Amino acid sequence: MATKKRKPTKKTGKPAFKVRNATVKDLPILVHQRRAMWRDLGARDQRDLDRADKVYARWARSRMKSGTLMGWIAEDGGKILGGGCVWLQPVQPRPGYNLMIQPYLLSMYTEPRSRGLGVASGIVLKALEWCRKNRFLQLRLHASEMGRKVYIKHGFERTWEMRRRIKKLSEDS
Ligand SMILES: CC(C)(COP(=O)(O)OP(=O)(O)OC[C@H]1O[C@@H](n2cnc3c(N)ncnc32)[C@H](O)[C@@H]1OP(=O)(O)O)[C@@H](O)C(=O)NCCC(=O)NCCS
């Protein structure tokens, strides 16, 4: 008799996956997730994507080693479902806040077959927990259209950040 494949479900009330910290060994996973995120956002030029992979791998490796990039990976029995990272981004000083770094959530990606199961939510909760533990006052990000509902669900709000375009990039929102 054919056995049915187990599908992770939210209905049990318990997520069928675990979110763990990423290490430098997970770089190939993080690079894949970053590339897949850009592809889903409309980046199609393979050469640009290949180049971006190399640059991101170098960028992420050095920051993971210096402790300014944290990553989380959601997995279900060794199967990777998604992930995301927090980068401690340099910022200008301001009255009452002289730290000059702020946490920034990036590279959020869930494999298409695992979407809608709370994977991205699990990563966002870990990132928020990390920020609280490290006494940061806020977590910032730039939300893709697909990501907006996820972030709104977890209390993120729009800000007054503005921009004046000099040149439009096709996958820029
Ligand atoms: C955005 C993305 C990471 C969401 O991942 P996910 O694991 O499916 O998200 P979750 O399951 O945690 O969803 C959380 C909530 O957002 C809503 N949501 C998620 N994706 C949605 C979509 N495409 N359309 C409408 N609602 C969506 C869900 O309804 C869910 O709410 P619920 O739990 O109350 O039903 C995933 O769609 C993705 O990888 N997209 C491509 C890359 C991308 O846009 N990354 C974000 C960059 S900022």
Q: Tell me how far the alpha carbon of residue 7 lies from the centroid of ligand 1, in angstroms.
A: 18
Q: Which atom of ligand 1 is nearest to the CA of 145?
A: 44
Which residue has the CA at smallest separation from atom 2 of ligand 1? 147
Q: What is d(CA 40, CA 57) in angstroms, rounded to the nearest whole number? A: 19
pLDDT of residue 15: 73
Q: Tell me how far the alpha carbon of residue 129 lies from the centroid of ligand 1, in angstroms.
A: 19
Alpha helices in the chain (DSSP H): 27-40, 46-66, 119-133, 148-153
CATH superfamily of 18-153: Gcn5-related N-acetyltransferase (GNAT) (3.40.630.30)
pLDDT of residue 2: 45
What does the domain layout of the chain look like in residue ranges?
Answer: 18-153
pLDDT of residue 172: 72
Ligand 1 contact, 110 CB (< 6 A)? yes
- Segments of the chain with pLDDT less than 50: 1-6
Q: What Cα–Cα distance (Å) separates residue 55 from each residue in 60, 92, 115, 162?
A: 8, 25, 27, 27
Q: How do residues 26-62 score in pLDDT, each as one tens digit?
A: 999 999 999 999 999 999 999 999 999 999 999 999 9
Ligand 1 contact, 106 CB (< 6 A)? no
Residue 104's DSSP bridge partners are 87, 140
